[in-house]
Chains A and B, each alone.
Chain A
Amino acid sequence: MTSPAAVAGLLAMLVATVGVGVFARRFARTTSDLLVAARAVPPPANAAAIGGEYLSAASFLGVAGLVMKFGYDVLWYPVGYAAGYLVLLVFIAGPLRRFGAYTIPDFAEGRFNSPAFRRLAVGLVIVIGLFYTLPQMKAAGITVASAASVPYVVGVVVMAVVVVTIVVAGGMRGVTLVQAMQFMVKLFAISVPVFVLLIHFGTPGSVFSAVTAHQSATLPNGTTVHVSQGEEWRVTRSVAVQVDHPTRVRLASAEPAPQPVYVGAPQATPPPYRDQLVTLDSGGVLPAGRVRWEQSADVSLPAGEPVPYGAATPLSPTSSWLRPFGPLAGGSGQPLLFTYSLIVGILCGTMGLPHILVRFYTNPDASAARRTASLVLVLVGVFYLWPPLYGVIGRVQAPQLYTGDLTDSVVLLLPRLIPTPLVGDALTAVTAAGAFAAFAATLSGLLISLAGGLGHDVYGRWLRPAATGPQRNRAFKIGAVAAGVAAALLGLLVENFDISVLVGWAFAIAASSFFPLLVLGIWWRGLTTAGAALGTAIGGIAATLAIVTTMLAAASPSLADVLTRNSALAVILAQPAIVTIPIAFVVMVSVSLLRPRVPIGVAAKMVQLHIPDRLGLRRDYIPD
């Protein structure tokens, strides 16, 4: 169903973003102006801007959707996103600001005097950046699709075009005001609707009792859902449905309802259907088991009955949904290993994301950088209190999202269920605007990092080192378009993956490569160039291969089979951080100890990283 309010919210946010961007650019015309001017940005404003860029679609939509789907275990995601900032604060914020490197490739090159290492780092930035754009594209797709009743594909393409245009026109980048505004919009858009929802649907305590009242998610009111041809349901208890026109369905009632094979990935090999083709004239009873819709239809589900589950949504009985090691960690077969690996990956991955470090450069000194990071922690901490509540309310009020594998849209849908007409519309517009702010901010930050890597490094340094300024500028823009096209194409493939799971993967790759590089590079003078480069490469490649294998298992029955039988292997491939981070550290340390050739000038570098700013030893390192 189209929601004019949601469309209005999206458009309003688009206009606000471009408008404030144009307004702010009068004061900061070029990048270097911006960098100089930005030294005057006080930590609170800077923190709001960083928060604006950091809180992505995964935070705004994904956490709520994943909580609704899997329950308690998912709380580790928002807590990890926030705690990752604490790790960044205590290990790298201050020294990295003194060093003056504001991207990881800059740090790799500056700390180790190695252009080759820079190339490696740029390559990894592009891999992590692309992984991180996937969930943003998915969020864009479902936001537009649910606001305007268009196919997912249209949503992805429209939003990719919009954000690439903004980036190429230079409208959003680095403008503190725009990013700070987007943080405020997101905080407002996630917190205010929750209060109204709680007024309508009861206190958190009563929402939890409503969850507990049914062992399976149960519809509070009769609801009509749209099914497409080929869609599959798993029916837990036989349910009487009505259809808007005669519809053929295939039933496999005798077979047990299989769980999705694999966490985060859709079902790979459903057992073959024993054909039992039935035509529902206007309605009928779907027996417990599997159902495959052979025709599209609008299907009405009755109130008070457990909802059928979509093929990509695992069954989530209330008792396990509410408890630790529920469908997410418990479903993996290795609950403790899974939980710890997830935590470690998110905690250590934050600092390695390509678009995070840039803004620390806008602090005047290390002490301000630390204060800024601690304020970011306050801001994101306040933000993350709210998304899980949407997931819990969604389980009670909108369980039909389980049926359509649509839990990622729960934040967008819930305000529409508020019975007071104007309030419901207004809040629908607000959450749509917040979702736009979320993916637009992060996506543009990522596209800038990717375009910078493609335009500045790949083109400007390797292909055409003699390129002139305008040529480089054009290369940057072409890079932005190329990255946008790649992101959109990849985005089309991930409709059935969970936003937060995709984000968790980007974190795991960053944690396995850049986290050891940054921590050892800053705190251990004995780290050699060879050790750092090998550790970064091996950690990053191992994590990427593990995750790609997991994604392939969604398409390959034989691979999925192997993983189903070896749950420990499956967990390590899906959440590789707990293995790949130690591998990267061991490689870095052992190679450095075996061939102890520390880079020339390491003493000066360590002084630059660690001597307090007051003593005036800092020299900014700005390449080119």
Chain B
Amino acid sequence: MRRQLSLSLRVAATLAVILGMQPLVAWVWPGYADLHILGIPLPWLVLGVASYPVLIALGLYYVRKADGIDDEFSDLLE
């Protein structure tokens, strides 16, 4: 349970940092909003497009690790 909780907290903290950084970057560095890729403002791409693969990757990483911890624990007892 402790290992599961620390895994959950690690993933949640990563999420918090990735999302939480963005308003801060935009706040301290207004030039962030002037960058463009293929004519699309960078902040739109980062938040509106790049977020989803990151979320999905975090989710898949968590599922693999959580299953691994469960299996190890079960192996230990059996």
* Chain A residues with a Cβ under 8 A of chain B: 72, 75-76, 78-79, 82-83, 85-87, 89-91, 94, 203-206, 208-209, 322-325, 335-336, 339-340, 343, 347, 366-367, 370-371, 373-374, 377-378, 381-382, 384-385, 388, 523, 606, 610-615
Expressed in whole angstroms, the minimum distance between the Cβ of A548 and any Cβ of chain B is: 27
Tell me, in angstroms, the Cα distance from A94 to B47 when the chains sit together. 28
Let me know if B74 and A606 touch, CB within 8 A: no
Interface of A is mostly: helix
Of A79, A83, A90, A614, the residue contacting B74 (CB under 8 A) is A614
Tell me, in angstroms, the Cα distance from A85 to B11 when the chains sit together. 13
Interface of B is mostly: helix
Let me know if A209 and B39 touch, CB within 8 A: yes
Of B1, B27, B30, B55, the residue contacting A83 (CB under 8 A) is B55
Let me know if B52 and A381 touch, CB within 8 A: yes
- Seed contacts A324-B32, A325-B27; 5 additional CB < 8 Å A-B pairs: A72-B44, A79-B55, A83-B19, A373-B59, A606-B1
Let me know if B56 and A378 touch, CB within 8 A: yes
CB contacts (< 8 Å) of B67 on chain A: these are 367, 370
Tell me, in angstroms, the Cα distance from A79 to B77 when the chains sit together. 40
B13-39 vs A, CB cutoff 8 Å, 1 = contact: the mask equals 001000110111011001011001011
Question: What 9 pairs between A and B have smallest CB-CB spacing?
Answer: A205-B39, A381-B52, A324-B26, A612-B70, A374-B59, A323-B33, A90-B8, A610-B1, A614-B74
Tell me, in angstroms, the Cα distance from A446 to B76 when the chains sit together. 43
Max chain A Cβ within 10 angstroms of own Cβ: one of B15, B24, B32, B59:
B59
* Chain B residues with a Cβ under 8 A of chain A: 1, 4-5, 7-8, 11-12, 15, 19-20, 22-24, 26-27, 30, 32-33, 36, 38-41, 43-44, 47-49, 51-53, 55-56, 58-60, 62-63, 66-67, 70-71, 73-74, 77-78
Which chain B residue lies CB-closest to A342? B23
29 residue pairs A–B, Cβ–Cβ below 8 Å? A76-B47, A79-B52, A85-B55, A87-B12, A89-B63, A204-B38, A204-B39, A204-B40, A205-B39, A323-B26, A324-B26, A324-B33, A335-B23, A335-B27, A336-B27, A340-B23, A347-B15, A370-B63, A373-B59, A378-B56, A381-B55, A384-B52, A385-B48, A385-B52, A611-B73, A612-B73, A613-B70, A614-B74, A615-B74
Let me know if B5 and A86 touch, CB within 8 A: no
Task: Assess A377 versus B56: contact at CB under 8 Å? Given A90-B62, A324-B26, A615-B74.
Answer: yes
Tell me, in angstroms, the Cα distance from A335 to B22 when the chains sit together. 13
Tell me, in angstroms, the Cα distance from A347 to B66 when the chains sit together. 21
Which chain A residue lies CB-closest to B49? A385
Let me know if A612 and B71 touch, CB within 8 A: yes
Task: Assess A79 versus B20: contact at CB under 8 Å? Given A94-B66, A381-B55.
Answer: no
Let me know if A91 and B8 touch, CB within 8 A: yes
Of B22, B36, B58, B74, the residue contacting A612 (CB under 8 A) is B74
Tell me, in angstroms, the Cα distance from A86 to B10 when the chains sit together. 12
Task: Assess A324 versus B77: contact at CB under 8 Å? Given A83-B51, A370-B67.
Answer: no
CB contacts (< 8 Å) of A86 on chain B: these are 11, 15, 55, 58-59, 62
Expressed in whole angstroms, the minimum distance between the Cβ of B28 and any Cβ of chain A is: 10
Let me know if A340 and B20 touch, CB within 8 A: yes
Task: Assess A89 versus B19: contact at CB under 8 Å? Given A205-B38, A336-B27, A615-B74.
Answer: no
CB contacts (< 8 Å) of A377 on chain B: these are 55-56, 59
Max chain A Cβ within 10 angstroms of own Cβ: one of B39, B40, B43, B71:
B39
Expressed in whole angstroms, the minimum distance between the Cβ of A389 and any Cβ of chain B is: 9
Let me know if A208 and B40 touch, CB within 8 A: yes
CB contacts (< 8 Å) of B26 on chain A: these are 323-325
Expressed in whole angstroms, the minimum distance between the Cβ of B67 and any Cβ of chain A is: 5
Which chain A residue lies CB-closest to B77? A615
Which chain A residue lies CB-closest to B7? A90
Tell me, in angstroms, the Cα distance from A85 to B51 when the chains sit together. 13
Task: Assess A367 versus B70: contact at CB under 8 Å? Given A75-B47, A206-B39, A208-B40.
Answer: yes
CB contacts (< 8 Å) of A322 on chain B: these are 33, 41, 44
Of A79, A89, A91, A340, the residue contacting B48 (CB under 8 A) is A79
Expressed in whole angstroms, the minimum distance between the Cβ of A303 and any Cβ of chain B is: 24
Tell me, in angstroms, the Cα distance from A347 to B1 when the chains sit together. 23
CB contacts (< 8 Å) of A90 on chain B: these are 7-8, 11-12, 62
Let me know if A371 and B49 touch, CB within 8 A: no
